[in-house]
Amino acid sequence: MAKKHLIITNGTVVTNELITRGTVVTIGDRIMYVGNEEEGEKIKKAAIPGVFEIIDAEGGFIAPGFIDVHMHGSAGLELMDGTEEAMRRMARYLAKSGTVSFLPSTVTAMKDKTRAVAELVANYVGADDEAEVLGVHLEGPYINEKYKGAQYGPAIRPADLSELEELYAILGEKLRLITLAPEIPGCLEAIRWLKGRGVTVSIGHSDATYEEAIAGFEAGITHATHTYNGMRGLHHREPGVLGAILSYPGIWAELIADLVHVHPGAIKVMLSSVGTERIVLITDAVQATGLPDGEYMLGDQQIFVSDGAARLAEGNLAGSTLTMLRAVKNMIQEIGVSIPEAFTMASSNPAQSIGLKDRGRIREGNRADFVLLTDDFEVQKTIIAGKVAYSAD
């Protein structure tokens, strides 16, 4: 049966502004028209029966689908399980919660385990009811022990170009993002090597001084991993990693907006310095996401979830149980950003931060990735590349 194109009507379209009673038309996996109700009605009347599927947004939001560039697991499984079933369960869960594409993230692990996970991602083929796997985010292992957080200490090591060459040979362009600490031996050389191959490099789990962080930026770092968390903080005589991120132009700054990892006041400081145009909302979600409080795993370490907050036994935060939808709602309802700004931070900014130019924004020519929400932000449909991947009906 031939695939139907889509006409999505009767919703508020979230672009740089809000288009009330808007219409979006897709042909294949591309957005062909974005506009108001009047033009939408003309298109509906002219549409060839059987070629277009008409979707009524029922007065809710037609928004860009979420893109999560930093998450570890959900629904009871995680990337480091190293199985196709883990990938599939995560991807299906994400589609149900409005996320259209994502980077599953490793944790610091021994070489053989990291290589096995890289092979899994390189060979994974998703299904129509799953969020798209864009590649992999390597969080570590070239990080600083002092700010390891919930990373596995025994596997932390200096940068190793031979290991990177092996991983790149497996993944190619699917090696999308890597978190490292620029002050660690070999990392500046690694940053330049990665930049030359189009891999986005992020500063994180770092005890770099302000000057060392800036040296990393000048070598090619363009991204910051869970800003505020796992890094040397701001002091007025030594601005540290945080000061470098907040002051250096052009850095994409991740934010876990669960209101646990970062105080609302600190989020407002970040907004005033980095701006909505550079903040990247992430979840840093672990396998407990979508499940009750209890005991779970993050890589090789046991974590404990209480009141939705995930921690190691010694009390360190260990990822989150956040969803992208909850992060957006928090930014709108608790921080006070506008609806278009919140969605930009959850869709367009993540896409741009890893070099994807045609994703994350509802405009003509872009890929047809949407989340349809009720007016109180409940997911009704997730549409990925012009196909309905999830429907609450």
Is residue 82 domain-shared with residue 188, that is, in the same domain?
A: yes
Domain co-membership, 97 together with 130: yes
Is the CB of residue 177 less than 8 Å from the CB of residue 199? yes
On whether both 138 and 82 belong to a single domain, the answer is: yes
Q: Are residues 22 and 147 in the same domain?
A: no
Q: Does the structure show a pLDDT above 60 at 1? A: no
Res 247: pLDDT: 98
Look at the chain and report how many structural domains it folds into. 2
The reply to whether 13 and 105 lie within a common domain is no
Structure tokens at 285: 């979600």
Instruction: Note the pLDDT of residue 46.
Output: 82
Average of pLDDT values for 48-63? 93
The two structure tokens encoding residue 8: 């999505």
- How far is it, in rounded angstroms, from Cα 48 to Cα 30? 18
CATH of the domain at 83: 3.20.20.140
Q: Percent of the chain having pLDDT more than 70?
A: 99
Using the predicted structure, report yes or no on whether residue 244 has a pLDDT greater than 50: yes
Which residue segment(s) compose the domain that 385 sits in? 5-63+362-391
Position 174 scores a pLDDT of 98
The pLDDT score that the predictor gives to residue 4 is 81
Judgement on whether residues 98 and 232 belong to the same structural domain of the protein: yes
Place of tokens 């890094």: 231
* Dihedral over Cα of 16, 18, 19, 22: its sign: positive
Cβ-contact 125, 92 below 8 angstroms: no
Sort strands 387-391 and 379-384 into parallel, antiparallel or unpaired: antiparallel
Q: What is the pLDDT of residues 285-305, one digit of tens each?
A: 999 999 999 999 898 899 999
Average pLDDT over residues 53-65: 96
385 touches 368 (CB < 8 A): yes
Alpha-carbon distance of 11 to 339, in angstroms, equals: 14
Average pLDDT of 309-331? 94
Asked if residue 259 has pLDDT above 70, the reply is yes
Are 188 and 274 within one domain? yes
Instruction: Indicate whether 326 and 387 sit together in one domain.
Output: no
Q: What is the pLDDT of residues 125-179, one digit of tens each?
A: 999 999 999 999 999 999 999 999 999 999 999 999 999 999 999 999 999 999 9
**For 243, phi and psi rounded to 5 degrees?**
-60, -40
Q: Are 384 and 95 in contact (CB under 8 A)?
A: yes
Q: Do 146 and 37 fall within a single domain?
A: no
Q: Per residue in 9-47, pLDDT tens?
A: 999 999 999 999 999 999 999 999 999 888 878 888 888
Helix (H), strand (E) at residue 182:
none
| 102: phi then psi, degrees, rounded to nearest 5 | -160, 160
Sheet holding 309-311, edge to edge: 294-298, 301-306, 309-311
Percent of the chain at pLDDT above 90? 92
Alpha carbons 60 and 363: distance in angstroms, whole number: 18
CATH number at residue 377: 2.30.40.10
Which SS3 state, helix, strand or coil, does residue 268 take? helix
> Do 35 and 84 lie in a common domain?
no
The verdict on 39 and 102 lying in the same domain is no
Weakest mean pLDDT among 175-189, 237-251, 306-320: 306-320
* Sign of torsion over alpha carbons 107, 113, 119, 120: negative
Residue 253 and residue 240: Cα distance in Å, rounded?
15
Q: What distance in Å separates the CA atoms of residue 212 and residue 182, rounded to the nearest whole number?
A: 7
Q: Are 258 and 381 part of one and the same domain?
A: no
Q: Which helix (H) or strand (E) holds 116?
A: helix 111-123
- Alpha-carbon gap, residue 311 to 228, rounded angstroms: 17
Give the strand pairing for 294-298 and 309-311: unpaired
| pLDDT at residue 167, rounded to an integer | 98
The string over 265-286, giving b where at least 16 C-beta atoms fall within 10 Å of a residue's C-beta and e elsewhere, is eebeebbeebebebbbbbbbbb
Tell me which residues are annotated as active site.
Answer: 284
- For the chain, the average pLDDT equals 96
pLDDT score for 3: 64
Amino acid present at 263: H
What pLDDT score does 40 carry? 79
> Whole-angstrom Cα distance, residue 265 to residue 244?
19
Pick from 36-45, 179-188, 323-332, 339-348: least confident: 36-45
